Amino acid sequence: MARYAHIVGWGMAVPQRVVTNHELAQFVDTSDEWIVTRTGIRERRVAGPQESTATLSIAAAEEALAVAGINPRDVDLILVATVTPEHLFPATACLVQDALGASRAGAFDLLAGCSGFIYALHMAAAAIRAGTHDVALVIGAETLSRIVNWRDRNTCVLFGDGAGAVVLKGSETPGGVLASMIRADGSGGELLILPAGGSRMPISEAVVRDGCHFVRMNGREVFRFATRVMEKATREVVAQAGLRLEDVDLIIPHQANIRIIEAAAKGLGLPMERFFVNIDRYGNTSSASIPIALCEAAQQGRLKSGETAVMVAFGAGLTWAAAVVRWGMPLARPRPPWLERLGRITLYLPAQLHSRLMRLWRRFDAWLSRFLRQEGE
């Protein structure tokens, strides 16, 4: 019997702080008109001191699980797509797993630039179709404000912070992720890169002085690459799903630049009304871009049960990816806000307590081992 991977829950989280173009213009040689004309961005969210890729991931995941009505203990796979992980290791996905109390889940991070969420969706759907997993939590999350040079108007005006998540569940009912594709061309790796922080260029005083710990981008070449692959990937994945462009109800593109989206629409011969756009409010949130847009499309009624959506993205690597999804709206479970908060406390407080107890136990176990060894001597 064939298995299908359905999206049964979704959630998003963005920082409270909004940074407008006018605010940027106070310390960068730019203007609201310059930014809007070239990118379509009017504002973006920037993480505060207590916010990080992990905290945003956890908040988005909790919302997605609540929509799905799934207990974290029933999740058996967690993927976090990000280029700004909490640490190089441990994986941010492991921190999410611990915070949620998803005791049965395997967890790892995936790095594929702005295409990361669709890469992760592709892998999770494949695992569900293969029967090795039944419930997967796929998250795209970024705190890009931590790796941009706020004096470089060519990059700092583009990026924002946020997270989005979906819950995939296996079913024998046709639908869900109908097709997906992932591609890469590493020959263009230097076009969009964070030079320092890896094994080739470890962080040092000289690296920081030269600004190699900030993202660098050849905007002109990335633009040319993006306008080419967005149309190509959309056509390829739609054909893979056995559909025609006319069968697609909504296209959710990576929110990098409004001109790239407009070029894709023109190349596909589709009106902009068929594309979901929220870049004006969030900027480019990299791997969080697609899931945030997906969540807002669902919240705004742009996606209804039985409708078909295409998600398409490009990013550092160079990478590109696309997926076709047959939407199946979960049943509404309206609850008063106070009851929702109480439900989350009772669900996740035990996970927090368990995590702390495990840390205490490891310390005690290490002390006991040392004590017994000394006694034996």
336 pLDDT more than 60 = no
Q: C-alpha angle 100/104/107, rounded to 5°?
A: 70
256 pLDDT more than 50 = yes
Output the pLDDT for position 332.
Answer: 47
Phi, psi (deg, nearest 5) at residue 186: -65, -10
User: For residue 166, what are the β-bridge partners?
Assistant: 10, 138
Task: Name 338's Cβ contacts closer than 8 Å, sequence gap at least 6.
Answer: none
Count CA atoms closer than 13 A to 164's CA, side-chain side: 23
Among 122, 133, 213, 254, the active-site one is 254
The pLDDT tens digits for 66-88 are 999 999 999 999 999 999 999 99
Task: Respond yes or no: is residue 254 known to be catalytic.
Answer: yes
Task: Respond yes or no: is residue 149 known to be catalytic.
Answer: no
Output the pLDDT for position 335.
Answer: 58
Task: Respond yes or no: is residue 114 known to be catalytic.
Answer: yes
Total-model pTM: 0.94
The pLDDT tens digits for 224-240 are 999 999 999 999 999 99
Pairing relation of β-strands 135-143 and 106-110?
Answer: unpaired
Among 94, 114, 156, 295, the active-site one is 114
